Amino acid sequence: MEGLKVSDANMVVYLHPSKSNKFYEAILRELSSLLFKFNENFDGVVLAYEFNILDKNAKILNGIHPYLAVRLKAKLLLFSPKPNMLLEGKVVKVTQGSIHVIVLGFSSAVITDEDIRNEFVYKTKNGEEVFSSKVHKRHVIKVGTMIRFLVKSLDEEILHISGSLAPDHTGSIHWLANHLEDVTVTDRSKKKRREDEEESVLQDHGTVSVEALSINNHRRSKKSKEKRRKADS
């Protein structure tokens, strides 16, 4: 899935002096406060982290409320979806006008009917609301389906994604995987048929090896010499 990246960051964490005897736990608490929130400095949502303390001698900052400044080298896993990226998520609700999705278990996404390609038709089957393909009967999107969709925009404040199912390579991940596999097999079969046809054409018209050409040339040369000797005599 696109939108995920790992980023290295040099950070400074500020701790109250009262935390000096448990500074490691205090650092964990400060970094954990960054999780699942959009951070402008990192241009993404922090999903996970690991860190190393660069200098164990923390610098004391002067002021009315002095703090300890601890320098860190951190590696961050970021979720940073951009327009036209492909994301994957689980369908949690289907209505006649929209498909609602959860991405990575925390970010919500909605795909409205204007962004669902005409191939899909809203139906109710056995009391269950679904979007079913008119072209491929087994391509169905319903609650619980894992889908791949295109990002249109992201509301960074509430982590809400506006998505699209307009492109042909979007839809049910399970169906797309089988469909792409079928296409690959079909392409291989076509290639094999073309190779067989080319071989058949060559066999019909005959193939001449280098050795055969040498023998024929030798025979033609021998006949030419005999003709010249008869002409001279």
Instruction: Tell me which H or E stretch contains 225.
Output: helix 210-232
Q: Domains in the chain, ordered, with CATH? A: 4-79 (3.30.1490.120), 85-175 (2.40.50.140)
- State whether residue 144 is helix, strand or coil: coil
CB 108 within 8 A of CB 100: yes
pLDDT for position 193: 55
What mean pLDDT, rounded, does the chain reach? 80
Q: Alpha carbon 184 to chain centroid distance? A: 18
For residues 69 and 14, is the Cβ–Cβ distance under 8 A?
A: yes
CB 149 within 8 A of CB 87: yes
- Cα separation of 55 and 31, whole Å? 17
pLDDT digits (tens, 9 = 90+) for 23-59: 788 889 989 999 999 999 899 999 999 988 876 666 6
The model's pTM: 0.69
Band of the pLDDT at 216, cuts 50, 70, 90?
A: very low
Tokens 């492109």 label which residue? 167
